[in-house]
Chain A
Amino acid sequence: MHPAPSVILFTALSGLGFGLLTWLGLGMPDVTGTVAFVFYFIGFALSGGGLIASTFHLGNPQRAIKAFTQWRTSWLSREAWLSLAALTVMGIYAVGQIFFGERLVLVGYVGASLSLITVFSTSMIYTQLKTVPRWNHPTTPMMFLMLSVSGGALLANQMDKAALLLLVSGALQVLTWHLGDGRFAQRGSTLESATGLGHMGKARQFEPPHTGTNYLLDEFVYVVGRKHSRNLRVIALLCMSIIPGLGLLLMPPPHNAALVFIVLHIAGLFASRWLFFAEAEHVVGLYYDKR
């Protein structure tokens, strides 16, 4: 799949933002006034910014409001509602903490849950796609949720929890990659099944339908070199989990060192998310004999 910056930004940032809001909703940390304002600013900026980024890849963003209508069937529509709900509830909760020094505990719990469900619904947009076997698996929501809560913990200054969560999400990431690598083949879609011509022998593309490119090739066929992707995986893993996780565990840091870990984590997260898209193969690539 084409690793479009808008979707990478959207999923990574909103995941982080909702992760942070989740922790805040749980009262970790339990802050008020200016400090609370700063935390909430970051939380809303990330989640809201991510959502705005998601509209960049729309062909007709001015009609985005229509995306609220199909919650019965569409995860994207559900995500729109859930994020709106999460942000509203968390907004009320934030107002209480910032301006009234009051923690509306129940509202916080509801907001935190909504934030997590929002992240889950985002992940389901990808998970539901049978056309992309790598995504079409429980590890996708697990991964989204784990990264959201561990990154959120980091931002929420919940360092000991963050350390653990980061390491666990690192392990989950390794598992996800491992399981994902063979899934396209396991699902059994091949050029032969795509064309239904397997009984005639081994198929290969002789001529593409057009000599130039098209939307399908640009959007769905992204061939990332194996070596390139191995290296990037190592970098992603180190930055996203191992360094910040171990770092936090081994030398509980002064606050400014935490910033370094946060930056590293976000860089790693972007790399991981880039790979999430770039390594995902859509079955339509079969028709072009390219994956």
Chain B
Amino acid sequence: MTQLPSSTTRKLGLVIDLDTCVGCHACVISCKGWNTENYGAPLSDMDAYGGDPSGTFLNRVHTYEMQPEQGGAAQTVHFPKSCLHCEDAPCVTVCPTGASYKRVEDGIVLVNESNCIGCGLCAWSCPYGARELDRAEGVMKKCTLCVDRIYNENLPEVDRIPSCVRTCPAGARSFGDLGDPDSDVSQLVAARGGYDLMPELGTKPVNKYLPPRPKDTTDAIDILAPFLEPVAEEATGFIGWLDRALDALPASPKKGSN
């Protein structure tokens, strides 16, 4: 049903830490592997070994360069992006078949592939490029938030998290209930100033991004430790200092004679 539920019990989603993501693409491929084998049709790859390979992926990592306006070195930011499970998901309401829907219990936005006619309209309405039409199956594909993992009783409890979160080597991805202000993810968002992508479009994404911490700043250290004071200007002076310093060592015996 493409009407959005008026509210959802929980707001499950991801928090992505741009300060920690090294851009390794582990989440991309893990997602590809899990979702090829699980929910719905496999994620296909067209011209897989040829000149123009293009496959379906539910999660992609962009890399941007930021050039500070005040000058200074440019900064590189890795930017993973998958469905943000928006509260006001336009992709759901545009769907003519009811294939797209938002789950009332957890807010996950899903495509029921057996109803999907592959019109593409939902992808048109998504600002984030989070939906891709699978070219082999002709159905719309998107991040399922690993709905077939997070409640899966055939998995050990610790593994009931999205595949991309489980695999991320740097720990840059967190999963949880962003509707619960006391959850770990909500606390993280609060502590680190998590934000929405393209808020101007009113989609109210559930997923949040944590901004990179300020880089190349030297404020802290300038107060704590100015440049080092020399103890000596050349080697002979240094040996004098050394003698005194050795004597001052806690465990130092009194210096004998040579």
Contacts from A to B (Cβ < 8 Å): 1, 57-61, 63-64, 66-70, 72-77, 80, 125, 128-132, 187-189, 191, 193-197, 199-210, 212-216, 218-220, 282-284, 287-289
Contacts and interface: CB of A to CB of B under 8 A. Distances in A.
A187 B90 CA distance: 17
Contact of B60 (A63, A205, A210, A219): A210
B150 interface: no
Given A76-B94, A128-B94, A287-B128, A57 B120 contact: yes
A283 B124 CA distance: 10
B118 A59 contact: yes
Interface in B50-99: 52-57, 60-69, 74-77, 79, 81, 90, 92-99
Given A60-B139, A209-B28, A287 B129 contact: yes
9 contacts: A58-B119, A59-B119, A66-B117, A74-B2, A76-B94, A209-B28, A212-B53, A220-B123, A283-B127
User: Ordered nearest first, which 4 A-B pairs have the shortest CB separation?
Assistant: A59-B118, A59-B138, A209-B60, A76-B96
Contact of A58 (B18, B75, B117, B198): B117
B190 interface: no
B125 A188 contact: no
Contact of A194 (B68, B138, B198): B198
Contacts of A203: 64-67
A188 B115 contact: no
Contacts of A196: 195-197, 209, 211
Contacts of B90: 129-131
A6 to B, nearest CB: 11
B119 A76 contact: yes
Given A204-B67, A219-B123, 17 more contacts: A59-B137, A72-B3, A73-B2, A74-B95, A76-B96, A80-B96, A129-B125, A191-B64, A193-B200, A197-B18, A197-B64, A200-B77, A201-B67, A201-B69, A210-B60, A215-B56, A282-B124
Nearest to B77: A197
A234 to B, nearest CB: 29
Contacts of A131: 90, 124-127, 201
B177 interface: no
B75 A200 contact: yes
B200 A188 contact: yes
A66 B98 contact: yes
A7 B97 CA distance: 19
Given A67-B97, A200-B68, A287-B129, A130 B77 contact: no
A54 B62 CA distance: 33
Nearest to B140: A59
B65 A206 contact: yes
Nearest to B75: A200
A250 B18 CA distance: 65
A63 B65 contact: no
A286 to B, nearest CB: 8
Contact of A63 (B74, B77, B97, B209): B97
Nearest to A209: B60
B56 to A, nearest CB: 7
Nearest to A54: B119
B138 A60 contact: yes
B116 A63 contact: yes
B209 A132 contact: no
B147 interface: no
Nearest to A204: B65
A195 B118 contact: no
A64 B138 CA distance: 12
B117 A60 contact: yes
B17 interface: no
**Of listed A60, A63, A77, A283, residue having the most chain B CB within 10 A:** A60
A72 B127 CA distance: 22
B53 to A, nearest CB: 5
Contact of A284 (B61, B64, B95, B129): B129
B198 A283 contact: yes
Contacts of A57: 119-120
Nearest to B68: A201
Interface string B194-212: 0111111110000001011
B121 interface: yes
